[in-house]
Copies of this chain bind each other. A is one copy, B any other.
Amino acid sequence: MTPPPRQRATVHDVVARAGVSRGTVSRFLNGTGYVSADAAARIEAAIEAVGYVRNNAARNLVTQRSMAVGFVVHEPHQLFLGDPNIGSIMLGTNDALADAGYQLVVLVVASDSDAERVSTYLRGGFVDGVVLVSARTHDAVAEAVEKIALPAAVIGQPEGGGSLPHVAIDNHAAAREITERLVATGRRRVGMLASALDRDSGADRLAGFTEALGERFDESLVVTDPLYSYTSGVRGMAELLRRDPSVDGVFAASDAVAAGAIETLRAHGRRIPEDVGIVGFDDSDWAQRCTPKLSTVAQPAHDIGHAAARLVLDQLRSPEAAANVTLPTTVVWRASA
């Protein structure tokens, strides 16, 4: 079945309906020149009746605000789909913006041409501010945002700093803390499935792991992968067992990685936690779904998103309100180690 074609209402429809001249409608829409109160009322009614979409032009010229805030997600396909944090962060941002009457506008960057198009969009005045998630160093979108001084918050702590204020957790301290807990269960050969070393979160988790092990750190027990994914856990754990079958402790850089690693450990006949203790990071749904349930680091994902939105809204009130925010994490100890 083909629905009937729909015609978008034009200025001509408004003119015809209102029964005033085209020039009067034009002056009304542009907010320039004289329009009688009677004509204005008829034009308003006509706009409503024919469903004419007012150009946001008029609104922006008056308020200089679009009342929308962008949320830029840099994630390749698998990560975007599998990462439960991004969804929670997004909903936290949405809650804070909705309270302030702002519209959340999510922009996905999956390629270089996406990055360029999104930068153009941000320059176009469609949003009053922006939250950047998983920004990388020398990120094209972050550079565009700095250039136009758009109120912004970066989630995560970009390596090398950058001038944009950020909301972050202390990945380094959290990784050190959970690794110390793992070591304290008596593990002798502790490896790490490290992910996304090009991102602050990935690099800091490896640094925290390294610091916790100190003298006992063995570089050959660190297997790296670009993604925080279930599949990288499946593959990484197989590689770790190949390098040293006596591994008895594993810090996986995310819960999804840990879930994949558990699958491989099970396939190799290793009992968890008897033979191998394993811990993750995020306290996402993955942690609850693992058998046994996963010991992990809880990230306050919703709060992170909320804080990032507040940071942007604060800058919209006063540009000096751009203080960085660090939110606390908690080790959640369950049955996997």
- Known contacts A103-B107, A106-B107, A289-B230; decide if A322 and B6 are in contact (CB<8 Å): yes
| Closest chain B CB from A254 CB (angstroms) | 15
| Assembly CA distance A150 to B9 (angstroms) | 9
Please name 5 pairs of A and B residues whose Cβ atoms are closer than 8 Å in the assembled complex, sorted by A: A5-B320, A6-B163, A81-B285, A91-B108, A103-B117
Name the interface size band of chain A: 35 or more
Question: Considering only CB atoms, which chain B residue lies closest to A58 in the complex?
Answer: B57
Residue pair A53, B125 in contact (C-beta under 8 Å): yes
Which A residues, 98 to 136, have Cβ-Cβ distances below 8 Å to chain B?
98, 101, 103-108, 110-111, 113-114, 117-118, 120-121, 123-126
Do the beta carbons of A125 and B1 come within 8 Å of each other?
no
Give the residues in chain B near A118, CB-CB below 8 Å.
Answer: 103
Q: Is the CB of B324 within 8 A of A4?
A: no
CB of A156 within 8 Å of the partner chain:
no
State whether the Cβ of A319 lies closer than 8 Å to any Cβ in chain B. yes
Question: Which of these binds chain B: A59-67, A185-193, A214-222, A269-277?
Answer: A59-67
Q: Tell me if A55 and B60 are in contact (CB < 8 A).
A: yes
Task: Return A99 CB to nearest CB of chain B, in Å.
Answer: 9
Residues A165 and B3 in contact, CB atoms below 8 Å apart: yes
Kindly specify which of A82-90, A196-204, A329-337 makes contact with the partner chain. Answer: A82-90
Asked if A317 is at the interface (CB within 8 A of a chain B CB), the reply is no
A interface residues with partner B (beta carbon < 8 Å): 1-9, 51-61, 64, 66, 68, 77, 80-82, 84, 87-88, 90-91, 94, 98, 101, 103-108, 110-111, 113-114, 117-118, 120-121, 123-126, 146-151, 161, 163-165, 230, 263, 285, 289, 291, 315, 319-320, 322-324
User: Could you tell me the distance between the alpha carbons of A148 and B53 in the complex, rounded to whole angstroms?
Assistant: 7
Are A322 and B289 in contact (CB-based, < 8 A)? no
> Which among B55, B90, B121, B285 is the interface contact of A230 at CB below 8 angstroms?
B285
In-complex Cβ contact of A98 among B98, B113, B165 (8 A)? B113
Q: Is the CB of B103 within 8 A of A56?
A: no
A117 touches B91 (CB 8 A): no
